[in-house]
Structure 1
């Protein structure tokens, strides 16, 4: 009986430390905006997986596979010799005006995330415009405990939100609100 008490005390002493030993948690973010143009007009600009020319941070986009699932694209950021992000298309529906994609490769110094997936979708508004929603799920750039400040959860969320906001702002500038 005494051995069981000691074992229970040991288990109870160790359990709280196990809660602190977990790694990062999946982060999620959703940004959206309404623009004045009808969905078909907005989709004509953003609906091609291989054309990110509408996004101000993207210098160029190359790829293969069109808008088929498993199509790949390489985004070059800023300038011709800028950093790159390799992505793969995981879902695509022209009918629903939405697509999903994942990052296959990115330097965490460029975008401090890992295991990133994203979904971009358009829906009509009552006023005849378009509601654009861009959401993502990802882990911070540093997978272990005690990440450096530039690779922690807050840095990952801020970076992804910055990318989304820049794109949405460009669409508002193009189509009005």
Structure 2
């Protein structure tokens, strides 16, 4: 009898347990660019200069250059500002990592993210990889659709893929 009472209590606790919170999401995209890696890195390497190549960015202002802890405020053409900070910068390896330091759900429906951009040689051209991890905009157990995992994935995918397409056009076209 004692065993079945314990089993009953455990069963009640398990069924009464709240749903788990958000799980980390990932985005990874690459672009092959018909331009020397040095030219591509010349565009990407300016942490505060993302407006030079990302079509969705209206302006970008930064401080601290490429030192760890440098910051940038990226204003999107459709509204919202991404406030980001540089975590790690390696010009020799043509890579840097950064993170969202202050969420703006009008800019992207995510509560946080970290990302890495890397340029590598690819034959006569370059390959750019952009990888990120993020959490949806509403980290509660039942987020509204516009702040859900799906909304976060769609927005991050569009932002990264648009950026890579813009970088490719800029590096290959030279304009």
Give TM-score scaled by structure 1 length.
Answer: 0.91
- C-alpha distance in structure 2 between counterparts of 1:16 and 1:173, whole Å: 54
Q: Distance in 2 between matches of 1:33 and 1:50?
A: 21
1:164 matched to 2:163? The reply is no
> 2:32 — aligned with what?
34
The equivalent of 1:103 in structure 2 is 100
Report the alpha carbon displacement of residue 131 of structure 1 after superposing the two structures with TM.
0.8
* In the alignment, structure 1 residue 147 sits paired with structure 2 residue 143: yes
Are residue 75 (structure 1) and residue 71 (structure 2) matched?
Answer: no
Give the secondary-structure state (helix, strand or coil) at the position aligned to 1:110: coil
Query: 41, 46, 49: which one pairs with 2:47?
Result: 49
Q: 1:58-80: per-residue Cα shift (whole Å, max 9, x none)?
A: 1111111100000011111218x
Cα shift at 1:121? 0.5
Root-mean-square deviation over aligned CA pairs: 1.7
The corresponding residue for 1:132 is 128
For the residues of structure 2 that align with 1:168 and 1:33, how far apart are their CA atoms? Answer: 6
Q: 1:176 Cα shift?
A: 4.0
Distance 2:38 2:61 in 1: 24
Structure 1: gaps spanning 5 or more residues: none
Runs of at least 4 residues off by over 6 Å = none
Count of residues in correspondence between the two structures? 172
Cα pair 2:62 2:72 within 8 Å, conserved = yes
2:118 aligned residue (103, 113, 121) = 121
* Equivalent position SS for 2:31: strand
> Retained in 1: the 8 A contact 2:39–2:171?
no
**In the alignment, what sits opposite 2:170?**
174
SS of equivalent residue, structure 1 residue 172: helix
2:58–2:76 CA contact under 8 A, matched in 1: yes
Gaps of 5+ in 2: none
Measured after TM superposition, the shift of residue 10 of structure 1 is 1.9
Q: CA–CA distance in 2 between the matches of 1:40 and 1:12?
A: 61
